[in-house]
Amino acid sequence: MLFSLFVTAREGLEIALIITILLGYLRSINERGHFRAIWYGVVAAAVLSLGVGIGLEVASRELDGRVLEAFEGFTMLFAVAVLTWMLFWMKRHSAGISKELRHRIDTALSRGSMLALGLLAFSSVGREGIETTLFLFAGSANQSSDALFVLGGLLGFVIATVAGVVLYYGSARLPLRQFFLGSAIVLMVLAAGLLTNALADLHEATLLRELGSRPWDTESFISMTSDLGKFLHTIFGYDAAPAISQIVLYWTYLVAVLAAYVLWPVSRPPRQTFEVAGTGVVATTKAETLADAS
């Protein structure tokens, strides 16, 4: 449940921010009449993401045995790769996203194209939606309760929606910068767990012949089939007797990605310097980040 809740709360908030920027800008330039185009794009993106999720689920139900294990293993690896790339992309480019979206809205409006506005919302939201779908599908292979997994996912989206409404109406300042840093770390921990689970799946699919020795066994302390064992398996990729390759992969990924994320520079748009007319005062424009957009 916590896995799906974390994923949808974080990714849902990214989606909410994008929609807030689009609607907020249209509102500020008195173009509320174009809200409908944005919402059409958002709904289309949601349908596409849902379709991808249903497609993955149907495909996995058609498979069994080693093919299913291989499918799940590769999906987990792909989901981790996409998520890691998106986390870094978001950090690197967050400074210019708000400005870029506004520029693209201006371009669409100047052409009088409702379709372009809808496509803008569709592509921006769809990218996040498919990323969310991939990560949820990869994580669902290890969850212990279908109902709780779905409930967690819905709860995360509710949290993100409420945050989006609060941002749009500007009734409160949310600690977005802290939330994005904290949730990025949580997602990296979840991704590291998925990596070790992917190794186990590929081993079960006999695509990996050896995982190496298993230096310890904590089964008598926390059983893999106990509720706590299942919970830790889902969140941290807990294995009572992990193979040395799983241990090395887990910690190498976590330490390397965390260190790189903290050190990864944020790309800020060049500050525009100008002189305030007649005063001799030189001012600079404030860089806008996704988090500043609120």
Partner 1 sequence: MAVVALAAAVYACGSSGEGGREVRISQGEDGCTPESVTATTGEKLNFVVTNESRKEPYEVEGEGGTELEEIVVPEGKTREVGFDVPDEPDTYEIKCYVPGDVTTIIEVEATAP
In sequence order, which residues have a C-beta less than 8 Å from that of residue 263 and are 6 or more positions away?
none
In sequence order, which residues have a C-beta less than 8 Å from that of residue 179 and are 6 or more positions away?
13
- Chain positions 44 to 73 lying near partner 1, rule: CB under 8 A, are 65-66, 69
**Residue whose C-alpha is closest to residue 76's, from 23, 34, 136:** 136
Closest CB to partner 1 among residues 123, 225: 225
Closest CB to partner 1 among residues 2, 181: 2
**Residue 224 found at the interface with partner 1 (CB under 8 A):** yes
In sequence order, which residues have a C-beta less than 8 Å from that of residue 246 and are 6 or more positions away?
196, 199, 200, 211, 237, 239
- Chain positions 182 to 201 lying near partner 1, rule: CB under 8 A, are 200
**Residue 214 found at the interface with partner 1 (CB under 8 A):** yes
CB 14 within 8 A of CB 90: yes
**Residue 232 found at the interface with partner 1 (CB under 8 A):** yes
Closest CB to partner 1 among residues 99, 214: 214
**Residue 235 found at the interface with partner 1 (CB under 8 A):** yes
**Count of residues near partner 1 by CB under 8 A:** 26
Closest CB to partner 1 among residues 100, 219: 219
Question: What is the end-to-end Cα distance of the chain in Å, rounded?
Answer: 29
**Residue 215 found at the interface with partner 1 (CB under 8 A):** no
**Residue 228 found at the interface with partner 1 (CB under 8 A):** yes
**Residue 223 found at the interface with partner 1 (CB under 8 A):** yes
In sequence order, which residues have a C-beta less than 8 Å from that of residue 120 and are 6 or more positions away?
22, 38, 41, 101, 104, 105, 108
**Residue 204 found at the interface with partner 1 (CB under 8 A):** yes
Tell me the Ramachandran region of residue 278: left when phi exceeds 0, alpha when psi lies from -120 to 50, beta otherwise: left
**Residue 227 found at the interface with partner 1 (CB under 8 A):** yes
DSSP state of 224: T
- Chain positions 102 to 121 lying near partner 1, rule: CB under 8 A, are none
**Residue 178 found at the interface with partner 1 (CB under 8 A):** no
User: Which residue of 2, 52, 82, 155 would you call a contact of partner 1, by CB under 8 A?
Assistant: 2
Rounded least distance, CB 205 to partner 1, Å: 7
Rounded to whole angstroms, the Cα distance separating 157 from 170 reads 19
Residue 129 has which token pair?
């939606």
- Binding interface with partner 1 (CB under 8 A): 2, 65-66, 69, 200, 203-206, 211, 214, 217, 219, 223-228, 230-232, 235, 240-241, 243
